[in-house]
Amino acid sequence: MKLREFNKELVKQAKAYLFDLGLSEYIQVNEWKRGTTLYLSNCLEYTEWVPERRSTDVQIASSADVLEMEPLSSIVKFTPDKADKTCRYSLEEESGKLRHNIDQALTSAGENFLGYLYRVWEEVDTKKSGDGREQQETALFINGIYEGNGETMIHAQSKCPGLVCYAQPYGPGVIQCLKKNQPSPKRTMRVYFSTTIDLRHVHFTGQIIRWEDKQMLSRGRKRSVTRHLRKHQPGEVALFKGTEEKTANARNLISVVDVRRLPTPIPLERLIKVSDNSPRKPRTQSGGFSEVYDDGWLEDVEVISRTQHDAEIEREIRKSWKRSDSKLDQRLRTALIQPEKIQITSVGYKRNPDVIVKVLRRANGICECCGHPAPFNRASDGTPFLEVHHIKPLSEGGPDTVGNAEALCPNCHRMKHFG
């Protein structure tokens, strides 16, 4: 193989490897008289980088250099021995070295390439507009992906941090909210997924960085996506290539990063539709999508059970009682004014309203423990305020019956639980 042919094949393999890493959208190729330069660019208008022209190189540089920031990567060079016109090097061996050099360059900054670019974009946007990245107010809900596809995306992105994966939701037509407001790596949109085996809860989430109509893809783009799917998401290849019967209703190709499984599934009713401000109700079949208000805090906060929360706060209160007033004052001076948000989960019981009414009528406004009248009347209907308490708790197997319930004033009710 001649030197020029060898070099062209090496460049081709380098481009293919960068595609496999999920960086194909950031590759710019410049052909020079003495070689080829591969850019990893963040697409800024003033991006410019001048390659060394004295050798036949494969070079990779970050346009962050131009921003006078810490460069993401060193320049990766490969220069065959120009004196050897027959090019005795093994292409497999040299392409292996090149892949190793690319990996070293991309990790030299201590983080993945896309994560670094996101921060670059944020800083540039801040300089241009004087504020931070625009906060997204809405998210996309996709009704029912295969459980295996969600796990496959998580596994692929754990092996290749920053990898772009693809979702192809079933549904009629294109997703209008994505078509009108194209997401990008600097303006992502959150996506929530339920699964085909549990359509009542959100199990996965991620960030959308691109939307495409599959009917409008170029041949080159189709080949690139197919190659990616074969390597990282083989279960999606058939749908993308049109061999599944629902393909006509799967026009949308969504590029997703940072896919995660929620530690605790979120009930679907927690998502509010933008179209009519109503809760998103579960469907009996998978397929479809809708724009919802972005309740990102639901998956960003710690999730604990009610029992665990109550036990932890009681334990901390006991510790605080042991501290002196001066120690408490010292701690309060550095304490957070706004408490941290957490998501508390609990299991309750669907009470019988007839039992509640019957017990309240029996009490006739008098606490059945202390014998005193109810402390106040309800503002809603003027009835005496008493609370119906189960003598044997429902959590211990007690029945929801009139005989196992009593009407109590708030003080007596708390005494029954904590006294």
Q: Which pLDDT score, from 0 to 100, does residue 229 have?
A: 93
- Residue 337 is part of which domain span? 304-345
Residue 55: partners with Cβ closer than 8 Å, 6 or more residues away:
34, 35, 77, 79, 82
Assess whether 289 and 160 both reside in one domain: yes
Assess whether 287 and 201 both reside in one domain: yes
What is the bridge-based pairing of β-strands 342-345 and 252-267? unpaired
Assess whether 152 and 166 both reside in one domain: yes
- Asked if residue 95 belongs to a domain, the reply is yes
CATH number of the domain at 267, please.
Answer: 2.30.130
Assess whether 291 and 308 both reside in one domain: no
**Strand, coil or helix: 278:** coil
Assess whether 296 and 321 both reside in one domain: no
Residue 173: partners with Cβ closer than 8 Å, 6 or more residues away:
251
pLDDT along the chain (419 residues), means of 10: 64 68 55 51 33 35 35 42 52 69 54 47 45 60 92 91 90 88 87 94 92 88 90 92 70 92 85 87 89 70 76 90 91 81 76 94 96 92 93 91 95 91
Assess whether 244 and 280 both reside in one domain: yes
Give me 116's structure tokens: 């670094």
Q: Which pLDDT score, from 0 to 100, does residue 320 have?
A: 93
What's the number of domains the chain is made of? 4
Q: Which pLDDT score, from 0 to 100, does residue 121 have?
A: 47
Assess whether 404 and 312 both reside in one domain: no
Question: What are residue 335's phi and psi, to 5 degrees?
Answer: -75, 155
Q: Which pLDDT score, from 0 to 100, does residue 388 have?
A: 95
Assess whether 153 and 244 both reside in one domain: yes
* In the block, residue with structure tokens 């292409």: 91
**Strand, coil or helix: 336:** coil
- Asked if residue 262 belongs to a domain, the reply is yes
- Asked if residue 248 belongs to a domain, the reply is yes
Beta strands in 272-382 (DSSP E): 289-293, 302-305, 342-345
From first CA to last CA, the distance across the chain in angstroms is: 89
Separation between Cα atoms, residue 361 and residue 365, nearest integer Å = 8
Assess whether 7 and 113 both reside in one domain: yes
